[in-house]
Amino acid sequence: MTRKQKRLTVIGGALGFLGLATALTFYALGQKASYFYMPADLQQATLPPGERIRLGGLVEEGTIVRGQGTEVAFSVTDKEKSVKVVFNGLLPDLFREEQGVITEGTFRPDGVFVADSVLAKHDETYMPKEVADSLKAKGVWQESTQ
């Protein structure tokens, strides 16, 4: 092989590799990215059964029910609609009523959301960005000034 051919082979190989990596990345983005919804958004959305989503909102007052052992049920609300969520595990330290949370999981056929993770932010003045944006758009919540 001449020097030029060799270089072309190397560049071709590298481009092929990059192409593969790009294809993999976008395939994975299509498969593994999960969408974020607020309870009121769910009406328009048609979710395939078993689709993983992130559900965000405020923990509705008076809905936290501790069940057997580590099971907890509560409702997530955007002050318009609310969705019942069940979760089996340890809740984050900052989980409480009226706190902004993001839960991740899937819907059961009966419309109850089964979360496998619950996120509350580690700052008492902090609201998850998605939740804050949506609540602000609805005029339910204003940014508190420090």
Partner 1 sequence: MIVETGHFALVLAFALALVQSSVPLVGARFGNERMMAVGGPVAITGFAMIALSFAALTIAYVQSDFSVANVWENSHSLKPMLFKITGTWGNHEGSMLLWVLILTFFGAQVAAFGGNLPASLRANVLAVQGWIGAAFMLFILATSNPFARLTPAPFEGRDLNPILQDIGLAIHPPMLYLGYVGFSVCFSFAVAALIDGRIDAAWARWVRPWTLAAWTCLTGGIAMGSYWAYYELGWGGFWFWDPVENASFMPWLAGTALLHSALVMEKRSALKIWTLLLAILTFSLSLLGTFLVRSGVLTSVHAFATDPSRGVFILAILTVFIGGSLALFAFRASSLSAGGIFQPISREGALVLNNLFLTTAAATVLIGTLYPLFIEAVSGDKISVGAPFFNLTFGLLMIPLLAVVPFGPMLAWKRGDLPGAAQRLMFAFGGALLAVLVVLLFVDGATVFAALGAGLAFWLILGALTDIVLKAGIASVKPAVALRRLVGLPRSVFGTALAHLGLGLTVLGIVGVVSLETENIVTMRPGETLQVSGYTLRFEGIQPFKGPNYTEDQGRFVLSGSGGRALGEIVSAKRFYPVRQMPTTEAGIKTLGLSQLYIALGDATADGGVVVRVWWKPMVTLIWLGGLVMMIAGVTSLMDRRLRVGAPAKRARPGLSAS
**Contact residues for partner 1 (CB under 8 A)?**
3, 6, 9-10, 14, 17-18, 21, 24-25, 28-29, 31-36, 54, 66, 69-70, 88-91, 93-94, 102, 119, 121-126, 128-130, 146
The least CB distance from residue 57 to partner 1, in Å, is: 13
Specify whether the CB–CB gap between 78 and 89 falls below 8 A. no
Short-list 44, 105, 104, 111, CA closest to 84: 111
The least CB distance from residue 91 to partner 1, in Å, is: 7
The least CB distance from residue 35 to partner 1, in Å, is: 5
Question: Judged by CB, which is closer to partner 1: 88, or 112?
Answer: 88
Question: Judged by CB, which is closer to partner 1: 17, or 112?
Answer: 17
Cross-strand bridge partners of residue 53: 35, 105
C-alpha to C-alpha distances, 75 to 8, 12, 57, nearest whole angstrom: 60, 55, 9
What is the sign, positive or negative, of the torsion defined by CA atoms of 70, 74, 78, 82? positive
The least CB distance from residue 82 to partner 1, in Å, is: 19
